Structure 1
Amino acid sequence: MKSHYDLIAIGAGSAGLGVAIAMKRLGFDVLLIDRKDQRIGGDCLNDGCVPSKALIHVSRMIHNARRSQPFGWKMEGATDLAAVMQYVHERIEIIRAHENATYLRDSEKLDVELGTARFVGKQQIEIGGRVTSAKNIVLCTGSKPQQLNVAGIDQVKVYTNENIFTLDELPERLLIIGAGPIGMEMGQAFQRMGSQVTVVGAEDRILSKELPEVSTLLQKRLAEEGIDFRLNRKVKAFRDANTAEVAPENGETEQIPFDVLLVAIGRTFNFDDLNLTAAGIELDDKGRIKLNDYLQTTNEHVFAAGDAAAGAPAGQRYFSHAAELHVSTLVSNLITPSRVLDKKLTYDNFSWVTFTDPEVATFGLLEEDLRKRNIRYERVDYDFAHDDRAVIEDYEYAKMILFTEPTGLNPFSTKILGGTIIAPNAGELAQELILAIQQKLTAGDFFNKIYPYPTASRVNKSVWIDHISDNLPGVVRKAVKWLY
Structure 2
Amino acid sequence: MEKHFDAIIIGAGQAGPALAARLSTAGQRVAIVERHLVGGTCVNTGCMPTKTMVASAYAAHLARRGAEYGVVTGPISIDMGRVHARTSRVSSDAQGRDEEWLRGLENCTLIFGHARFEGGRSVRVGDDLLTAAKIFINVGGRAFIPDMPGVADVPLLTNSSILKLSTVPAHLVVIGGSYVGLEFAQAFHRFGAEVTVVEKGERLVGREDERVSAELQRIFADEGIAIRTHAECIRFAPHGDKIEVGLTCAHGAPAIIASHVLMAVGRIPNTGDLGLEAAGIEIDERGYIRVNDRLETTAPGVWALGDCNGRGAFTHTSYNDFEIVAENLLDGADRKVTDRIACYALYTDPPLGRVGISADKARSSGRSVKVGRRPMSRVGRAVEKDETAGFMEIVVDAETDRILGGTILGTSGDEAIHCILDMMANDATADRLRQTVHIHPTVSELLPTIAGSLE
| TM-score normalised by L of structure 2 | 0.92
Aligned equivalent of 1:425: 412
Per-residue deviation, residues 100-134 of structure 1 (Å, max 9, x unmatched):
1x431215652111111111211111112112211
Matched pairs, number: 452
Q: Is the 8 A contact 2:248 2:254 kept in 1?
A: no
How far apart are the structure 2 equivalents of 1:13 and 1:457? 32
How far apart are the structure 1 equivalents of 2:389 and 2:168? 31
Residue in structure 1 matching 2:174, options 173, 176, 198: 176
Change (3 A) 1:41 1:193: same
The residue correspondences of 1:37-76 to structure 2 (distance < 5 A) are 39-70=37-68, 71=70, 73-76=72-75
Residue in structure 2 matching 1:464, options 447, 451, 454: 451
Residue in structure 2 matching 1:322, options 314, 317, 324: 317
How far apart are the structure 1 equivalents of 2:406 and 2:86? 35
Q: State the one-letter code of the partner of 1:353.
A: A
How far apart are the structure 1 equivalents of 2:389 and 2:250? 35
How far apart are the structure 2 equivalents of 1:22 and 1:367? 39
Classify the secondary structure of the residue corresponding to 2:181: helix
Q: State the one-letter code of the partner of 2:149.
A: A
How far apart are the structure 2 equivalents of 1:332 and 1:364? 24
Aligned equivalent of 1:365: 357
Change (3 A) 1:368 1:324: farther
Q: Is the 8 A contact 1:5 1:133 kept in 2?
A: yes
CA-CA distance at 1:369 after TM superposition: 5.4
Classify the secondary structure of the residue corresponding to 2:33: strand
Per-residue deviation, residues 284-327 of structure 1 (Å, max 9, x unmatched):
233322323322222111111111101xxxxx331111111222
How far apart are the structure 2 equivalents of 1:245 and 1:235? 10
CA-CA distance at 1:445 after TM superposition: 3.6
CA-CA distance at 1:248 after TM superposition: 3.1
Q: Is the 8 A contact 1:152 1:238 kept in 2?
A: yes
The yes-or-no answer on 1:22 pairing with 2:14 is: no
The yes-or-no answer on 1:248 pairing with 2:248 is: yes
The residue correspondences of 1:85-100 to structure 2 (distance < 5 A) are 85-100=84-99
Aligned equivalent of 1:219: 217
Structure 2 unaligned runs (5+)?
none
Q: State the one-letter code of the partner of 2:231.
A: R
Residue in structure 2 matching 1:192, options 166, 190, 193: 190
Aligned equivalent of 1:440: 427
| TM-score normalised by L of structure 1 | 0.87
How far apart are the structure 2 equivalents of 1:128 and 1:74? 58
How far apart are the structure 1 equivalents of 2:273 and 2:379? 55
How far apart are the structure 2 equivalents of 1:387 and 1:275? 54
Aligned equivalent of 2:302: 302
How far apart are the structure 2 equivalents of 1:143 and 1:134? 24
The yes-or-no answer on 1:380 pairing with 2:380 is: no
Aligned equivalent of 1:261: 261
The residue correspondences of 1:221-236 to structure 2 (distance < 5 A) are 221-236=219-234
Per-residue deviation, residues 313-351 of structure 1 (Å, max 9, x unmatched):
xxx3311111112222222322366xxx73332165120
Per-residue deviation, residues 81-114 of structure 1 (Å, max 9, x unmatched):
11100010111122123211x4312156521111
CA-CA distance at 1:2 after TM superposition: 8.2
Residue in structure 2 matching 1:450, options 437, 444, 448: 437
Identity within the alignment, %: 28
Which of the two has higher C-alpha Rg?
1
Structure 1 unaligned runs (5+)?
311-315, 409-413, 471-484
**RMSD between aligned residues:** 2.4
How far apart are the structure 1 equivalents of 2:181 and 2:119? 41
Classify the secondary structure of the residue corresponding to 1:17: helix
Q: State the one-letter code of the partner of 1:92.
A: S
Q: Is the 8 A contact 1:245 1:253 kept in 2?
A: no
Q: State the one-letter code of the partner of 1:86.
A: A
Change (3 A) 1:406 1:151: closer
Q: State the one-letter code of the partner of 1:29.
A: R
Q: Is the 8 A contact 1:281 1:297 kept in 2?
A: yes
Aligned equivalent of 2:136: 138
Classify the secondary structure of the residue corresponding to 1:284: coil
CA-CA distance at 1:392 after TM superposition: 1.7
Q: Is the 8 A contact 2:9 2:31 kept in 1?
A: yes
Q: Is the 8 A contact 1:362 1:421 kept in 2?
A: yes
Aligned equivalent of 1:476: none
Change (3 A) 1:419 1:257: same
Higher mean C-alpha deviation, range 119-128 or range 231-240: 231-240
Aligned equivalent of 2:10: 10
Q: State the one-letter code of the partner of 1:405.
A: D
Classify the secondary structure of the residue corresponding to 2:423: helix
How far apart are the structure 2 equivalents of 1:357 and 1:429? 15
CA-CA distance at 1:32 after TM superposition: 0.8
Q: State the one-letter code of the partner of 1:351.
A: C
Higher mean C-alpha deviation, range 71-80 or range 397-406: 71-80
Residue in structure 1 matching 2:330, options 314, 317, 335: 335
Higher mean C-alpha deviation, range 53-62 or range 234-243: 234-243
How far apart are the structure 2 equivalents of 1:437 and 1:353? 17
CA-CA distance at 1:257 after TM superposition: 0.8
